[in-house]
Structure 1
């Protein structure tokens, strides 16, 4: 098995290092990650300048770009041998519910999926204890399964792991995405030159966080496994929208 590892926290992130160490011996591992923290980068792709790739003594490669850039370059140019799958993480914080819209961790996985590879995004729901080894062990267990699970086209598996020792995990739960309440307000500050600046406010708490959601599973000590489909079409609205558009078109004819 040939596996591409990436993330959004940067090439020196402890989560990425733990993932690499935890998957050693499972296959041929290659690491291509941003040269710095790109949390919140979502699926941004750098198109206005060339990208620089650096190889480190560890064998890891870094890119002066986004997580999406990293996976795109790795799959489409840096290596001659193809990959079998992409694993993105281990993110230093949760990627639950609405988080996946902004997440560079999830974006790296979805870029792999766009390029035809099965992909997993994995995050540690950190409370400061930093049990990255638990999350790495979860990923290894998923990859070593004698019965590989296929999600289907344009889909990834979003995995969130409680920040506990392996022995304290309650198990696995298949979940849907919850959603967060409105984010906290922007935080104003004054820079040393006297100009006003703003920090983006903290994410809201789980609004839709009941049973069945990723929020609820993790709060109960379970690993949350959420299949995420990249098709963002609101299929349930197609019929009513067509009816509405038909009425618009009819009114255009009346006006003529």
Structure 2
């Protein structure tokens, strides 16, 4: 049986990413810069033999997937599906506000002075999720247990089905905090990662019901794509 690998990509840079606004279940499209970066990523991944591809149901993830598959050597033949379980966290009434506002409120709910003070401690994703839930005046944010089960079942189902069907490489386009949360669910010693770059690749292997982390936040595929682009133009 072929090894099962998930190439988990954070979507390309969007309008809200650029102006530093909270973007969970709300959505904005990729900027021109974001599209360009994902075109390079697609070139960098073009020869990876993907057996199938998935993205969340958010427009920015769908747009990212289509660009990557459009650059892939066999992109038209790769089955592609969306799965709403691998979308970003829902931030409720905090959606659309400035990042600094949300990350100013959340530490205060948890009795920290500021964001840096919070991150430098042993704060957990569960505490952050519960603080977001407490700060959400619209009652839309997800309780931690719902969030945990959603994210885990989404990625685990993708990996488990692929393993049952002979293994192979799977492209999965998701979101920054969701990917960071998944890493922590796989390995509780993983830190709270707030800096996963747009278009970065986090590669996981899956065997007998267990994930192993192979690489995190790898942007070399984008750099390789840039070099390939120059070669193709010459």
TM-score (norm 1): 0.29
TM-score (norm 2): 0.31
Structure with the higher helix share, 1 or 2: 2
Asked which structure has the greater RCO (Cα within 8 Å, sep 6+), the reply is: 2
Structure number with bigger Rg = 1
